[in-house]
Amino acid sequence: MDELELLKKDWKKQEGLFHQISEKEIYGMLHKGSSSIVKWILIISVLELLLWLSISFLTTDDQYLKTLELYHLDTLMPIMSLISYGVIIFFIILFFKNYRAINTTDNVKQLMQNILKTRKTVKYYVWYNLGMTAISMIIVFIFQFLYDPSINKMIDNVSSNVDTKTFYCIMIVIYTIVITIFIGLIWLFYRLLYGILMKKLQKNYDELKKIDY
């Protein structure tokens, strides 16, 4: 009986050892997977910046500059673009720091904290882009409404048949619908682009929670 009890105790010790090894292996896979996900977030954000810069470069011609002058936006819009690109570069730097932090993490709790930090950074990045796009569109529509000769002519023609306030309300509703649709499409784009990566990162976080607690 004594030998049997010793055998049971030895087996329990081995079971504990196997469990620890298993957890280390799981952590290694989750760590590698999380690092890969954040790396892709960094790559996508850089590619996105390059895309917007390319579009801006290709669409900035004499006609575009004349339109900005017509709307009295030839000073404001370039400044807003510079600020926007500066903020996006700042977010890219944050993504790079998050990637390095996760890549060099060597414990479960720290990895979990870095995952949460990365998710918050992505969330703020998306909301900033949506907010900046909405603000830019509102400014363009307002200045277009004020300074575009064709719109002013249309207002003069319509004012004789329709109440001016009613016309303004109709235009505001139309602009609001256009902005909402455009922002909605961008949101869906980000949802598809970053949403999949965020779900995978959340899944890794949940698995790490099981190890830690």
Would you say 134 and 183 are in contact if contact means Cβ atoms under 8 Å apart? yes
pTM confidence score:
0.81
CA distance 16 to 190: 44
CA distances in angstroms from 144 to 78, 123, 133, 172, 179, listed in the order given: 17, 32, 16, 12, 14
Produce one character per residue of 117-149: b if its CB has 16 or more CB atoms within 10 Å, e if not: ebbebbeebbeebeebbeebeeebbebbbeeee
What mean pLDDT comes out for the span 193-201? 90
DSSP for residue 74: T
Q: From the CA atom positions of the chain, what is the Rg in Å?
A: 27
Q: How many residues does the chain have?
A: 213
> pLDDT (tens digit, 9 = 90+) per residue, 22-62?
667 777 888 888 999 999 999 999 999 998 889 888 888 88
Q: How confident is the model at residue 4 (pLDDT cuts 50, 70, 90)?
A: very low
Q: How confident is the model at residue 12 (pLDDT cuts 50, 70, 90)?
A: low
CA distance 13 to 37: 36
> pLDDT (tens digit, 9 = 90+) per residue, 92-143?
999 999 999 998 887 888 888 999 999 999 999 999 999 999 999 999 988 9
